[in-house]
Amino acid sequence: MAAYWIAQVDITDADAYGKYAELGSGVVESYGGEFLARGTRTVFLEGRERARNVVIEFPSLEDAERCYASDEYQSALALAGGAFVRDLCIIDGA
């Protein structure tokens, strides 16, 4: 069953975020992740609004978790430093 990363992001350093996004995108794709939405237009209805929203589909919850925990993805996060503030969760698909 598919699973999804849902991220809501405020970028604080665009250059560093760009480096993270470039490296992180390749890692996500290597774990079967497919970007469904990436910073697209958002109609905000409730809760805390963030400037950027990202939805990534993975083949399974386990693939999504393995991607996040991987050395490669953690290296991308370390490269980003404090380039963003985000809320991130993984949810099972229906």
Give Cβ neighbours of residue 57 (< 8 Å, ≥ 6 apart).
2, 3, 4, 33, 34, 36, 93
The domain ranges of the chain are: 3-92
Considering the domain 3-92, what is its CATH architecture? Answer: 2-Layer Sandwich (3.30)
Across the range 37-51, mean pLDDT stands at: 90
Tell me the whole-structure pTM to 2 decimals: 0.92
Long-range contacts of residues 72-76, Cβ cutoff 8 Å, at least 24 apart:
72/27, 72/30, 73/24, 73/27, 73/28, 75/23, 76/20, 76/23, 76/24, 76/27
Is residue 90 scored above 80 in pLDDT? yes
Residue 27: which pLDDT band, with cuts at 50, 70 and 90?
very high
